[in-house]
C-alpha cells in the first residue's frame, strides 16, 4: 500500500474553471503546486498576466508558487498526488501520450462524467487502464461551483475513496476558511451521483426553457433524487444516505444555480436550440450531454426505472421535440 507523505507534492491536470478554482484552494495550503495545461501559449499568457487568461480571470496567482508545464510526464514525475480536472470527453486524449506510471501515485478525479468509449467512471478508467489501485483513487464531489470558490463563498466538498486515509489526506489539502470538507468510502455512489446530477440539471434547464415553473421543478428534482437512489443502489448496493450533500446537495446546486452549465445547456435546448448550436454558443462543456448516453447504455443492463434520464436521452439523441417529451414525462412523475 502506498505511503502517504507528510508534505505531498501536488499536481493539477486541466486549464478550465474548475482546475483554476482547485489551484486557488491548493495555494492556501501548499507552498508550491505543479499545473499541467495542454497549450504552451496559454501558459505563456498566464505567466504574463498572473491569472488564467480564459477562465476565472479575476483569480490572481503568485507565479513563484506555480510550476506550469505542458509536459504531462514531467508533471506526473514531480507529483505525489495528481488531480484531474478536465472534461471527461477530453481525458483519454490528454493522458494517451503519458509514459510515466501512475501506479505509485494518488489519483484524484474532479471530473463529473464518464469515459464515453467504454462507459467507465473515471475511477474505473484509471484502475483498469492505468493500473492505479482503487485504494489510491479519490473522487471530489460537491455541491460546489468554481465561480463561488473564486469569490471565496463558503463551499463544501466531499472526498471519497476506499482508503479513508487517502480521502482524508486529499481533503486536508483542499480545506481552508471558505472550503469545508467531508470524507466518504462510497467511491461508486459519489461518482455516479455526480454524473447523474448533470443529466438532471439538463432536464431542469429544458423544463425552464419550456417555461415550466418552480412548482414543477420541485417535483422534477424530488423525482430525480429518487431516480439517482435507484440507479446507484442497483450499480453498487451499499448503505448510503442519498440526502447528504454529496448527492442531494450537488443535485440541487447543479439543477438551480445560475452558474450551472448543464442547466444553461438544457435551457437553450428547451428554447429551441439544436444541440450543436447550444454547444457552440456556450463555449464550455456540458457534461450532462455526454453522460446521459452513457447512463442510458449502462442502464440497459440494470433496467432501473429512469423516466427523467430517458426523457433527456430522447430529446438529445432521438431528436424528440422537448415539449412533447416533457409533456409525456409529466405523466410519469409525481
Residues 166 and 27 in one domain: yes
The residues assigned a catalytic role are: 197
Burial 229-239 (b: 16+ CB within 10 A, else e): bbbbbbbeeee
**pLDDT, position 1:** 65
pLDDT tens series, the chain, 334 aa: 677 888 999 999 999 999 999 999 999 999 999 999 999 999 999 999 999 999 999 999 999 999 999 999 999 999 999 999 999 999 999 999 999 999 999 999 999 999 998 999 999 999 999 999 999 999 999 899 999 999 999 999 999 999 999 999 999 999 999 999 999 999 999 999 999 999 999 999 999 999 999 999 999 999 999 999 999 999 999 999 999 999 999 999 999 998 899 999 999 999 999 999 999 998 788 999 999 999 999 999 999 999 999 999 999 999 999 999 999 999 999 9
CATH number of the domain that residue 119 is part of: 3.40.50.720
Residue 4 counted as domain residue: no
Please name every residue paired with 60 in a beta bridge, in sequence order, or none if there are none. 51
Residue whose grid cell is 484552494: 25
d(C-alpha 150, C-alpha 58), whole Å:
8
Report if residue 138 sits inside a domain: yes
Co-location of 202 and 66 in the same domain: no
pLDDT at 182: 96
Verify that 155 and 202 share a domain, yes or no.
Answer: no
Q: CA-based angle 129:135:141, to the nearest 5?
A: 85
Domain C-terminal end among 123, 158, 185: 185
Total domains in the chain come to 2
Verify that 83 and 209 share a domain, yes or no. Answer: no
- Where among 185, 212, 246 does a domain terminate? 185
Question: Residue 76 and residue 181: Cα distance in Å, rounded?
Answer: 25
* In a shared domain, residues 77 and 119: yes
User: Domain containing 291: what range?
Assistant: 195-329
Residue 283's pLDDT is 77
Instruction: Flag whether 291 is in a domain.
Output: yes
Backbone phi, then psi, for 205, in 5-degree steps?
-65, -40
Q: How far apart are CA 255 and CA 244, in angstroms?
A: 16
Please tell me whether residues 176 and 247 are part of one structural domain: no
Enter the C-alpha cell of residue 196: 447523474
Answer with the one of 134, 161, 185 that is the final residue of a domain: 185
**For residue 3, is it within any domain?**
no
Question: Residue 243 belongs to a domain with what CATH number?
Answer: 1.10.1040.10
* Dihedral, CA of residue 53, residue 56, residue 62 and residue 67, to nearest 10: -70
- Report yes or no on 334 lying in a domain: no
Q: Is residue 190 part of a domain?
A: no
pLDDT of residue 284: 81
Regarding whether 201 and 124 lie in a shared domain, the answer is no
* H-helix or E-strand spanning residue 234: helix 214-235
Residues 80, 215, single domain; the answer is no
CA distance 32 to 68: 11
173 is a domain residue: yes
The CA–CA distances, whole Å, from 74 to 70, 100, 168, 244, 297 equal 9, 8, 26, 38, 37
Residues 180 and 201 both lie in one domain = no
Write down the pLDDT at residue 17: 95
Nearest one of 122, 65, 67, 55 to 94, comparing CA atoms = 122
DSSP string across 57-109: TT-B--GGGEEEES-HHHHHHH-SEEEE-S-HHHHHHHHTT--S--TTSEEEE
Could you tell me if 146 and 213 lie in one domain? no
Q: Does residue 5 fall inside a structural domain?
A: no
User: 289 and 175: one domain?
Assistant: no
Backbone angles phi, psi at 182, to 5 degrees: -135, 150
Do 294 and 208 reside in the same domain of the chain? yes
Cα 233–chain centre separation: 20
Amino acid at each position: 500500500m502506498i505511503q502517504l507523505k507528510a508534505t505531498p507534492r501536488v499536481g493539477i491536470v486541466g486549464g478550465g474553471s474548475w482546475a483554476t478554482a482547485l489551484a486557488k484552494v491548493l495555494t492556501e495550503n501548499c507552498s508550491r503546486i505543479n499545473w499541467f495545461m495542454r497549450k504552451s501559449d496559454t501558459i505563456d499568457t498566464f505567466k504574463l498576466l498572473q491569472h488564467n487568461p480564459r477562465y476565472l480571470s479575476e483569480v490572481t496567482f503568485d507565479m513563484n508558487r506555480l510550476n506550469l508545464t505542458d509536459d504531462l510526464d514531467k508533471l506526473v514525475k514531480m507529483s505525489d498526488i495528481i488531480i484531474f480536472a478536465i472534461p471527461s470527453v477530453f481525458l483519454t486524449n490528454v493522458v494517451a501520450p503519458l509514459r510515466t506510471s501512475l501506479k505509485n501515485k494518488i489519483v484524484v478525479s474532479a471530473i463529473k462524467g464518464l469515459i464515453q468509449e467504454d462507459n467507465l467512471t473515471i475511477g474505473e478508467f484509471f484502475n483498469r487502464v492505468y493500473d492505479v489501485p482503487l485504494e489510491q483513487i479519490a473522487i471530489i464531489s460537491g455541491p460546489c461551483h468554481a465561480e463561488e470558490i473564486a469569490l471565496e463563498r463558503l463551499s463544501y466538498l466531499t472526498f471519497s475513496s476506499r482508503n479513508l486515509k487517502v480521502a482524508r489526506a486529499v481533503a486536508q489539502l483542499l480545506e481552508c476558511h471558505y472550503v469545508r470538507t467531508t470524507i466518504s468510502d462510497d467511491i461508486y455512489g459519489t461518482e455516479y451521483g455526480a454524473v447523474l446530477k448533470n443529466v438532471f440539471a439538463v432536464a431542469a434547464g429544458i423544463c425552464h426553457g419550456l417555461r415550466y415553473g418552480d412548482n414543477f421543478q420541485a417535483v422534477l428534482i424530488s423525482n430525480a433524487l429518487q431516480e439517482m437512489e435507484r440507479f446507484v443502489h442497483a450499480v453498487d448496493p451499499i448503505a448510503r444516505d442519498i440526502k447528504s450533500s454529496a448527492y442531494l446537495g450537488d443535485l440541487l446546486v447543479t439543477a438551480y444555480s445560475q452558474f450551472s452549465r448543464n442547466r444553461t445547456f438544457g435551457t437553450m435546448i428547451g428554447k429551441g436550440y439544436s444541440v450543436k448550436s447550444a454547444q457552440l454558443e456556450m463555449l464550455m462543456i456540458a457534461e450532462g450531454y455526454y453522460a446521459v448516453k452513457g447512463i442510458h447504455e449502462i442502464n440497459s443492463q440494470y433496467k432501473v426505472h429512469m423516466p427523467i434520464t430517458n426523457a433527456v436521452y430522447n430529446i438529445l439523441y432521438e431528436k424528440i421535440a422537448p415539449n412533447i417529451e416533457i409533456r409525456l414525462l409529466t405523466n410519469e412523475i409525481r
